[in-house]
Amino acid sequence: MSKTIIHVDMDAFYAAVETRDNPALAGKPLIIGSLPGERGVVSTCNYEAREFGVRSAMSIQEAYQRCPHGQYMHPNMAKYKEASDAIHKIWNDYTDVVEYLSLDEGYLDVTGSLGLFGSAKEIARQIKEQTKAEVGLTCSVGVGYSMATAKLASEEKKPDGYFEIPDAAFFQELTAGRDVRIILGVGAKSADKLY
């Protein structure tokens, strides 16, 4: 029996929570992690900061060089955990086969839930709508026939997107000519061996 897997990935989660709670941050580059002048890295940043080349795990000094006018703040893990608990509660409404990867990302095996809730697309739509209405945040949702394809699908239309990879033929067509590292689990060393 083929599986139907949904991958949910919250959009710039920490930064989105901070912007939800302080709308004055909306539209401004926001970097969560260490502050300029401290030793440390970027935990995450919003899409406005990414336009300046700021990325997760980048040193805070480099982030500041790229985006000196950004808003910088330390993470508030208690606040993010509270938002995460609310998100996970929504996911658990649709299946009890869930694998959490982090506070803001997880896989849902909805193979056995389709009879109750309709298509995977309908479940994804409901998750997105509930997340926005109940938690005030957006997420990107991918549907696939495996964890790897669901993850790839969720990356296709970020932020606040939906994408589906229904079968192997579609996956091959989608990935033809792309860098092999877009596939979950393929890093630089594996990529070198595959080329």
What is the set of active-site residues? 105
Spatial neighbors of 125 by CB under 8 A, at least 6 apart, are: 162
Measured in residues, the chain has a length of: 195
